[in-house]
Amino acid sequence: MPSRFLSDDWFESVEALRDEAPEPPAAMKELKLNIVVAGGPDGDREIHMAAGQFEQGLVDDAPTKLTVPYDVAKAMFIEGNQQAAMQAFMSGQIKVEGDMTKLMAMQAGGPPTAEQEAFQAKIRDLTE
């Protein structure tokens, strides 16, 4: 049964798929980002990305922190809509603190592989 993006139930469902996650692109393996998803149904949520995986909470050693509106985060991370991410960034909806070059590394990862797209579809199916 689908769960609301970033809810505790959603994190549990995604965690259950972790063993199925494909290898992240090379540019993502060393990447750590702190992300504050603002204005969601459960309030602001603090998460981080490490080696292409989302985890709850922020980490001390992430060189970059993003603050992203809930709807934009869902479009970026669940729907894979990089155009929404670019538009939100250009319009100032996404705030960046720290090392901007780390975001460029994400873009350098190239298009997703078929395995990555299939895994993304599984996560999309878990998300209401």
72: which 2 tokens?
């934009």
pLDDT for 102 equals: 75
Q: Give dist(CA 114, CA 38) in Å, integer.
A: 31
Contact 29, 43 (CB under 8 A): no
Question: Which residues, other chains included, contact 15 with Cβ-Cβ below 8 Å and sequence gap of 6+?
Answer: none
- pLDDT value at residue 51: 82
Q: Positive or negative, the Cα torsion across 82, 115, 70, 64?
A: negative
**pLDDT number for residue 53:** 84
| Percentages of the chain per state (helix, strand, coil), in multiples of 5 | 40, 25, 35
From first to last of its 128 residues, what are the pLDDT tens digits of the chain? 899 999 999 999 999 998 999 987 776 777 889 999 999 999 999 999 888 888 999 999 999 999 999 999 999 889 888 888 889 989 999 999 998 887 776 666 667 788 988 998 999 999 99
Domain with residues 8-126, CATH architecture: 2-Layer Sandwich (3.30)
Q: Write down the pLDDT at residue 108.
A: 62
Residue with tokens 């939100």: 88
DSSP class of residue 63? S
pTM of model > 0.85: yes
Q: Are 108 and 82 in contact (CB under 8 A)?
A: no
pLDDT of residue 24: 79
Q: How far is CA 76 from the centre of its chain?
A: 7
Q: What residue segments make up the domains of the chain, in order of their start?
A: 8-126
